[in-house]
Amino acid sequence: MPDTITIIDNRTGKKYEVPVHDGMVNATDLRQIKTSEEDFGLGSYDPGFMNTAACTSRITYIDGDKGILRYRGYPIEELAEKSTYLETAYLVLYGELPSKAQLDDWTYNITHHSILHENIKKFIDGFHHDAHPMSILISTVAALSTFYSEAKNIYDAESRQKQTYRLVAKMPTIAGFAYRHSIGMPYAYPDNDLTYTGNFLNMLFKMTELKYQPNPVLERALDVLFILHADHEQNISTNVMRGVGSAHSDPYCSVAAAAAALYGPLHGGANEQVLRMLNEIGHKDKVPGFIAKVKAGEGRLMGFGHRVYKNYDPRAKIIKRTAEEVFELTGRNPLIDIALELERIALEDEYFISHKLYPNVDFYSGIIYLAMGFPIEMFPVLFALGRTPGWLAQWEESILDPEQKITRPRQLYIGADERDYVPLTSRG
């Protein structure tokens, strides 16, 4: 059976044979389908990229119908159980699990690139006391590009490697400084004796003690959450990372743009919105009324639904388990009961069943973050921190892919036809 598709253009009666690779037609192959010589050729109209692949990738595999997520072929369940965040970040970035020597080297380099230039403190100081930490993170990551001008050399492998160390290492420090600024606490500097996640907790929560000791249960839980967020193929923030990167901008500006996309409540900002929603519902008994409102079109059930998963998000399953471990330590947050009741009713409800709406990663992550002592505003920041290796891996794959070009979708112009300028005095 030939791997082609035959198209008959009923406008002209002409027949075309178009190759099919891996279940895809090349959109530019449609351009040969014309009604006349002047015709530009057939295009495809796809707002939101519902059915368009814009790249090939070897990083993350998702089967949304079956609820499968793998990084470089490894199931997310195994990584969440057996790996650490830094090891998973290495896997996502370089394609293979590291040897002992590679992991030691990677850990050393990340640990030794975590300090920020002292000048950065000055502009973090300039933000208003109630500035959202995600806005501080986005601006500060962009500002890092002013310190590392060699980052512009995106085709220099050594420079890319250096910026990768810096970005993975400095995101927690920026996040820590943004948080401490918002509560008026002095900044806490990195502690090289701690793990990546342990040090992050240190930079957030260290008080007057000489040495901060992270709680191992919380440290592991946060590490697992970071593993779950490390990459998620072509979501909006990754798409932005690739898009901005396609113009050959430096990786700091590209990560800032990706983080800006992540901040939106329909993407990584959803974890913050879930908490606001649960607080607004206030009690288990009010859940049916809230669900009825969602079904009537008055708002969305935040933390539910996904463009790709039409089944339970595998990350949400792991998070639910992690939540139980955290609650054993911190005590049960009453919001979890509202969340469980929401999930129970929604999963039995015809609207949610027929729309294939299941809890996504953001539904439970916020409740864990809250139990760990993070303020709600920090939730998207935690997501951005976890996602940084994924953005960088996708960026590098994209700029080294010979098939990639500067991102430039076409449009279907439906505006006014040519018309003469009307002087101000003649306008109605």
The residues annotated with a catalytic role in the active site are 267, 306, 362
Q: Which of 117, 293, 355, 410 binds ligand ACO (CB under 6 A)?
A: 355
| β-sheet bridge partners, residue 61 | 70
Q: How far is the CB of 197 from ligand ACO (least distance, A)?
A: 20
Q: How far is the CB of 186 from ligand ACO (least distance, A)?
A: 33
CB 30 within 8 A of CB 43: yes
Backbone angles phi, psi at 400, to 5 degrees: -95, 0
Q: Which SS3 state, helix, strand or coil, does residue 61 take? A: strand
Cα-based distances in Å from 196 to 56, 99, 119, 168, 179: 31, 18, 23, 10, 17
Backbone angles phi, psi at 71, to 5 degrees: -100, 125
Q: Of 190 and 303, which has the nearer Cβ to ligand ACO?
A: 303
> Could you say which residues in the range 20-49 bind ligand ACO, by CB under 6 A?
48
Q: Of 152 and 267, which has the nearer Cβ to ligand ACO?
A: 267
Q: Which of 34, 162, 267, 332 binds ligand ACO (CB under 6 A)?
A: 267
Instruction: With contacts defined by CB under 6 A, name the span among 29-37, 92-100, 117-125, 298-306 that binds ligand ACO.
Output: 298-306
The DSSP secondary-structure symbol of 284 reads G
Which residues lie below 8 Å from residue 221, measured CB to CB, with a gap of 6+? 322, 325, 326, 368, 372
Give me the residue whose beta carbon is nearest to ligand ACO.
305
| β-sheet bridge partners, residue 7 | 16
| Contact between 361 and ligand ACO per CB under 6 A | yes
Instruction: With contacts defined by CB under 6 A, name the span among 15-23, 32-40, 253-261, 299-307 that binds ligand ACO.
Output: 299-307
Q: Which of 214, 243, 251, 268 binds ligand ACO (CB under 6 A)?
A: 268
Q: How far is the CB of 381 from ligand ACO (least distance, A)?
A: 14
Which helix (DSSP H) or strand (DSSP E) does residue 5 occupy?
Answer: strand 4-9
CA distance 350 to 229: 30
CA distance 188 to 176: 7
Q: Of 83 and 360, which has the nearer Cβ to ligand ACO?
A: 360
| Contact between 387 and ligand ACO per CB under 6 A | no
| Contact between 198 and ligand ACO per CB under 6 A | no
Binding site for ligand ACO (CB under 6 A): 48, 235, 266-268, 270, 294, 300-307, 355, 357, 360-362
